[in-house]
Amino acid sequence: MLQRCPHCSLSYFPESGYYLGAMIINYGVTATLVVLIFLFSLLFPDLTRWTMNTKILLWMAFAIALSLLMMRHSYSFWLALDFWITPRQPKPPAEGRNNSNDGRSRATAIGEQSREMEEQQ
């Protein structure tokens, strides 16, 4: 996933844990879809001769695959929803104490600062 919008350099990661809501949306949609399809499948009990363990494993694999397929969509939906409710302006990348304008993002600079602090200990 990109760190910033390539057009206006709006940060896609404004704070840590930003996409928790997207994960909750992803889980809710996945669980709803799996339960609905499972309930629909109860209408056809003799469709396969698989054992119950095989069916449970296939349902689990289906749920995992579905949530992975919808991850990017739920992230972009969450970003769009947040931007729709509270529009924010893109910040220039070199801002704050680190004024070296070498094109690195602020998060990278902060990460390097904390790494330097860990090495000093």
Q: Check binding of 5 to Zn ion (CB under 5 A).
A: yes
Both tokens of residue 95?
């801002």
Task: Report the distance separating Cα 13 and Cα 67, nearest Å.
Answer: 21
Q: Which is nearer to Zn ion, 7 or 97 (CB)?
A: 7
Q: Which is nearer to Zn ion, 17 or 87 (CB)?
A: 87
Interacting positions 8-67 with Zn ion (CB under 5 A): 8, 10
Task: Report the distance separating Cα 70 and Cα 13, nearest Å.
Answer: 19
Task: Name the closest residue to Zn ion (Cβ).
Answer: 5
Q: Check binding of 7 to Zn ion (CB under 5 A).
A: yes
Window of 7-15, 23-31, 40-48, 56-64 that interacts with Zn ion by CB under 5 A: 7-15
| Kind and range of the H or E run holding 33 | helix 20-41
Q: Please check whether residue 33 is in contact with residue 66, taking contact to mean a CB–CB distance below 8 angstroms.
A: yes
Interface contacts to Zn ion, rule CB under 5 A? 5, 7-8, 10
